[in-house]
Structure 1
Amino acid sequence: MEAIFGILILIADIYAIIKILQSSAGGLKKIIWVLLVLILPVIGLILWYFAGPGGKGG
């Protein structure tokens, strides 16, 4: 069960990174968001979804 959860988080993180790189945000903001998602996979993903470039919060 833990392996499935880990794979789902990995897929979601890859999706988030792709969307971050495709966003219209500036280069530094993209780098910061990608690092946040890579360093804190679950928390970074949640923060990106609600506040990241192109996310719900702008």
Structure 2
Amino acid sequence: MQFTYFWISLGVILLLLDLWVINSVWRSDNSSGNKAGWTALVVLLPYLGLAIWSIAGPRGVTKGPSSPEHSKG
């Protein structure tokens, strides 16, 4: 019985990670083609897609402060 809960939990975690990755991809500044490619990879090959995205996927904000006022610490 506990073995079944393990697999269900693993499936739910995978689903949540997939949704998080897809949301992150679609909110990025990449072109629509890149977004569609990443989405297809993550949906069709969930484990492999997540692994590849974690290595080569979009990173956080790459732009610096928008004005000198914001860069003051």
TM value normalised by structure 1 = 0.89
Give 1:31's aligned residue.
36
More helix by share: 1
Greater RCO, 1 or 2 (C-alpha within 8 Å, sep 6+) = 1
Q: CA RMSD in A?
A: 1.1
The match for 2:19 among 14, 19, 24 is 14
For 1:46 and 1:23, locate their aligned partners in 2 and report how far apart those are by CA, in whole Å: 18
**Local SS of the residue matching 1:36:** helix
> Percent identity at matched positions?
33
Distance in structure 1 (CA, Å) of the matches to 2:44 and 2:20: 15
Q: C-alpha distance in 1, partners of 2:35/2:46?
A: 16
> Aligned pair count?
55
Q: Extract unaligned runs of 5+ from structure 1.
A: none
Runs (4+) of structure 1 exceeding 4 A deviation are none
Q: Which has the larger radius of gyration?
A: 2
Counterpart of 1:53 in 2: which secondary structure?
A: coil
Q: Distance in 1 between matches of 2:12 and 2:23?
A: 17
